Structure 1
C-alpha cells in the first residue's frame, strides 16, 4: 500500500510558484515535485475562503452539500458530523492518519477522521481554554517575554515585515518539524496519510529576515488593474490595517508582496527538509503527493485584498499531483481541464484502489493525468456567501477559458476572456459582441441554482437578492441534526 502526503498552503495564489510561470518567486522544491507529476493549470477553490474550501477538501462534497457557503452571515463553523471524510476513509482502510498545522476545525480539537492532529491555529482561540500546540511549544522555546504575534501585524493585514523571533520559531519551521517527527515515529507496519497544513503565506506576511530580504531588489509583479477597479477605491476602508479593499501606496503593496513571496520561498525550503528525510528513508518514491492551497490572495489586484472573490488571484489555486512510483503509467506534466478541490478525495482513493463508499461531488482526476480528453465536467461552479460586504456575495462559473460572475445582491454580472485577459482587466459583460456568450453562461448558472428552490431563479432568469435573507444551505442544519450524510444518498 502506498503512503499519501497532502501538502496544503494557506491563501496561496496559483501564479505565485515558479512552475506556474512566475519567474521571480523561488520555489525549487515544489517546481521539482511538479516535474515528477502533473500540474493542474485551472484548479479552483469551490468557495474561496478557509472554512468552506477546507470542508470540501475534507469531504469531497460541494459547499452546498457540506452546508458551508462562506465565513460570513448565516454561515456556521465547519463543525463535525461528517461520517465520510478523506482521513476517515483512509483510517478505515488501515492507514495511520496524522494532521499537522492548520486544520480550522470546530471544535478545534475535533479529529474529523484523523487519528491525531497537532495544531497551529494562527491565534484562533474558539474553544474555552484552547491553546494551540504550536503556541505551547513557542512559549517553551522563546528566549524572552514575546509571543507569536508580537511583530504587531494582524492575521488579515496587508502590512508586512520580517519575523520578530528567531527563524527556528516560525510556524512554518515548526510545521515541518512536526511532520518529520511523525515520519520518524510512525507505526512502520502501516501505510500513512500525512496532511502538512501551513498557516502561510496567509497574512501576516512575516517571513524570517533572510526570506524577506531575498525579494528586496527583485522585480516583483505589480497588481493587476482594470476598467472596473474604481468600485473598490474605498478611502474609508483603506485606512484600516486589515482593509479588504481600497488603494494602498505602491510602497505598501510592494512590501506586502515581498513578504508574501518570502513566505512562499521559506515554505519551499522547509519542504525540502521533509523531502530529504523521506528520500533517506526510502519513502519518497512509494508516496502519493498532493500539493494545493485552499484559495488565493488578491494582493492589491483591482484594489482588493485577501480572498472570497471569484477572481483568479483569489479563486485559482496551485494543484500538483505526483503519483507513487508503483503507478508506472506516463502522466501529463500539465492538465488544463478545470478541476476543483473536492476532486482531491476521489483522486486519492482512486490511486489507492479504494472503494468510494458514499456519494461524492468530486470527480477523480487520475484519468485526466493519463491523458483522457473526455471528462464529465466541462466547467466548474464556485460561490461564496457574504463575508466582508453584501456586495461580495457571488456565484461564478468557468471552464478555464471564460469566466462568468454574478453578484446576487447587486444584480450585476462580469464576464472575462481568460485566454486573452488572465488579469481580468476588461469586463465584457456589457460588450454587445459578447451578448450570446454571457447569455449562455447565465443559463448555465440558472440551471445550476434552480434546484435549490431559494428564489435565486425564476424561469430562465436570475433573481436579485438585495434585501432578502442570506443564502443558507439546508444541509448544514441537517448535518448537525443527523450527524450523518446518509440523507444525501
Structure 2
C-alpha cells in the first residue's frame, strides 16, 4: 500500500474538512468503493482517490448511539447514549469541540440525532433542524421485555409500502441539507479568500438511504434490470433464528406484515435508487468545492452511521451485529492521501482521532477514555492491531450485547444468549456459528477473556436500566403543563443577509463575489 504523503506547507497547517455522512448504508455494498453495479459515478470518482476501508464497522447499530460514538470516539457504554432517546451530555468532547478549540469553524447541515437540551455539541452553527425528535420519548424499557411501543418502533410498513414518489418527508429534508451545505461552501469560499483564513469543518449528514424505501422515479428507473433485488440469504425460519434475531422480529412486528417477493424487490430497488440520489448530492458538494478552488485543501470523509439488513436472513433495518447491519463504508480523500484499499477491520470510533491527527490536533488529554485510534498510521503502512468493538443496548434487546471483530473473526455476546463466533473468511454470510464447535474452543475462550477484560456486563446492564428509568420519569413530567421542546431551531439573521442599510453596497458586492476580479 502506498504511504500517506505529507501535504505541502500551505495545506499542512490549515486543511479544511468536509464530512459526508449518510444513514443506514450497508457496507457490503462498498467492497472497494461502491459496487460496480451501483449507479454512483460521483462516489466512484471519490473512491478512486480515497483510502477505502473495506471492513469498517459502526460502534452501535442504531442512529443516536452510533452518531454519538462517531463524534466522540467513545463506545455507548462511555457516552451513555444507549438508544435513540438517551441524552448526549455536554461534557463529552466531540471532533467539533477539538477542531473548534484549535481555531476551526465547525458547522452541521443535517441529521446527528442529538438528544437533550444541547443541540450543538461543539458545532458553532447548525444549518438545519434534525429530522428526529430531541426528547426522551423514544426510550425503551428493559423492565417490560417484549413490549412493543407501536407509535415509534420500526415495523415492516416500510417494506410493504416501498415504491416511487417525487417528494417525501426524507427527500424534503435531504434536499434542504444539500442546498444549505452548498450555500455554506460558497459562503466559506468568500469569507476565507485571504492568507489569514479560518479553516473549517462542515459536516453534511443525510437521512437517506434509511427506510422508508421510497425513491424518485429518475433514480428508481436506473435499477429496472438490476440483478441484486433479492437477498443472498433468504428468510430463515423463525425457529432457526438466533435469540436476538427473534427479538428483533417481534419488536418490528413482522407477523402483521406478511411480505411478498415483490415487496422485497421493490424495497431493495428503492434503497439502491436512494444511493444514486445521494450520489447526486455528493457530486454537487464536490463540484462546489472544485469551482470555489477549495478541493485541493480539503479532506473529505464519506461514512455512514450503521447499515441495513435489506431482507438478508429475513431481517430488515439494523439493530444487530450481522454484516449488513454493522458494517459501514468509510472513505477518506484529501491532501497527501493516495487512493488504496485497506482490509484490516476498522471502526467509526477511529474517525475522530483520525480527523484530529490529519488536522495536527492532539487528543492526548482525553485519549485514556477514547475507544478509537487514528488511521493515519495505517495509511502510512503501519499495522492496526487493536480489535474493533461494538455494543447494542436499545430497542429489541432485553440486555446489553457486545461484539468484537478481530482478524477474520467476529464474536458476539449477550448474557441472555449463547455466544456467536463466525469465521468471516470461510463464512462471509455468517451461516455457521462456531461457538459450539470443539475445534474452535481456543478461539472462543480467547474472545471470552477479551470480553471479560473489557466489559462488566452486569454493570453495563444496571447502567442502561438506571438511564431508562430516569428518562421515563423526566419525559412524562416534561410533557405535562407547558412544554418547551429541545429541537434545534435554526437561526437566520435576516438583518445581516443580502443588502441592508448599515452596509456599504460597493464593499458588499465586491466581498460577496468569488473569485474576485475575473
Q: State the TM-score, normalizing by the size of structure 1.
A: 0.79
Shift of 1:20: 4.2
Equivalent pair of 1:95/1:190 in contact (CA under 8 Å): yes
2:352 equivalent to 1:345: yes
Q: How many residues align?
A: 427
Which of 92, 102, 112 is the equivalent residue of 2:101? 92
Which secondary structure state, in structure 1, belongs to the residue aligned with residue 214 of structure 2?
coil
Alpha-carbon distance in 2 for matches of 1:82, 1:155: 38
1:96 is displaced (CA, Å) by 1.3
Judged with a 3 Å threshold, the aligned counterparts in structure 2 of structure 1 residues 470 and 61 are, in CA distance, closer, same or farther, namely closer
2:63 corresponds in structure 1 to 50
1:216 — aligned with what?
A: 224
Which one has the bigger helix percentage? 2
Partner of 1:301: 312
Q: 1:229 to 1:370 in 2, by over 3 A?
A: farther
Q: Contact 1:163–1:170 (CA<8 Å) still a contact in 2? A: no
What does residue 413 of structure 1 align with?
Answer: 419
Distance 1:428 1:217 in 2: 38
Give the whole-Å Cα distance in 2 for the aligned partners of 1:269 and 1:109: 32
Structure 1 pair 9–441 and aligned structure 2 pair: CA distance change class (3 A): same
**Counterparts of 1:435 and 1:247, CA distance in 2:** 40
Shift of 1:291: 0.8
Structure 1 residues 263 and 198: alpha-carbon distance in aligned structure 2, compared to 1, 3 A threshold:
same
8 A Cα contact 1:100 1:175, kept in partner: yes
1:416 to 1:388, Cα distance in 2 relative to 1, 3 A: same
Structure 2 unaligned segments of length 5 or more: list them. Answer: 1-13, 138-153, 471-518
Q: Deviations over 1:139-189 (max 9, x none)?
A: xxxxxxxxxxxxxx9898234121243999643332211110101123323
The structure 1 residue matched to 2:292, chosen from 270, 281, 296, is 281
Question: Which residue is 2:333 aligned to?
Answer: 322
Which of 22, 25, 39 is the aligned partner of 2:52? 39
1:351-395, Cα deviation, whole Å (9 max, x unpaired): 11112142322210001011112x351x2121101412427x421
The 3 A distance-change label for structure 1 pair 43 and 241 is closer
Pick aligned residue for 2:274 from 259, 263, 270: 263
Structure 1 247/4 Cα, relative in aligned 2: closer, same or farther at 3 Å? same
Secondary structure of the structure 2 residue equivalent to 1:353: coil
- For 2:374, the equivalent position in structure 1 comes to 364
Offset at residue 232 of structure 1 (A): 7.0
Contact persistence 2:49–2:339 (CA under 8 A) = no
SS of 1:454's partner is helix
SS in 2 for 1:6: strand
Q: Does the 8 Å contact 2:357/2:376 carry over to 1?
A: yes
Normalised by the length of structure 2, the TM-score is: 0.75
Structure 2 residue 171 is the aligned partner of structure 1 residue 165: no
- What does residue 186 of structure 2 align with? 184
Map Cα deviations across residues 409-436 of structure 1 (whole Å, 9 max, x no partner).
Answer: 22x1221111122111222222332222
1:12 corresponds, among 15, 25, 29, to 25
Q: Distance in 2 between matches of 1:432 and 1:408?
A: 21
Q: Provide the rounded CA distance (Å) in 2 between the counterparts of 1:32 and 1:208.
A: 23
Secondary structure in structure 1 of the residue aligned to 2:207: strand
CA distance in 2: counterparts of 1:244 and 1:294, whole angstroms: 28
Look up the SS of the partner of 1:390 in the other structure. Answer: coil
Give the structure 1 partner of residue 392 of structure 2.
384
Residues 435, 91 of structure 1: alpha-carbon distance in 2 compared, 3 angstrom cutoff: same
| Cα distance per residue 1:89-141 (max 9 Å; x no partner) | 2112111111001121124771111111123533547499xxxxxxxxxxxxx
Please state how far the C-alpha of 1:236 moved relative to its aligned partner: 12
Q: Secondary structure at the match of 1:157?
A: helix
Structure 1 stretch 222-231 or stretch 100-109: which is displaced more?
Answer: 222-231
Secondary structure of 1:222 counterpart: coil
2:388 and 2:263 map into 1 onto residues whose CA distance is: 35
1:174 corresponds to = 176
Distance in 2 separating the partners of 1:368 and 1:244: 46
Q: Residue in 2 aligned with 1:148?
A: none
Query: Does the Cα contact within 8 Å between 2:61 and 2:320 map onto a contact in 1?
Result: yes
DSSP 3-state at the match of 2:27: coil
RMSD of Structure 2 on Structure 1 (CA): 3.3
1:355 aligns with 2:357: no
- CA distance in structure 1 between the aligned counterparts of 2:103 and 2:422, rounded to whole angstroms: 46
Return the alpha-carbon distance in structure 2 between the equivalents of residues 78 and 419 of structure 1. Answer: 38
The answer (yes or no) to whether the contact 1:175–1:196 under 8 Å persists in 2 is yes
**Aligned pairs (5 A) from 1:70-81:** 70-71=83-84, 76-81=85-90
State the shift of 1:447 in Å.
Answer: 1.9
* Inter-partner Cα distance in structure 2 for 1:226 and 1:216: 21
| Alignment CA distance shift 1:291-1:433 (3 Å) | same
1:440 maps onto 2:441 in alignment: no
Equivalent residues of 2:404, 2:410 under 8 A apart: yes
Show CA shifts across 1:210-269 (max 9, x none).
112221221115224389653477999979987499873221111111010001111011
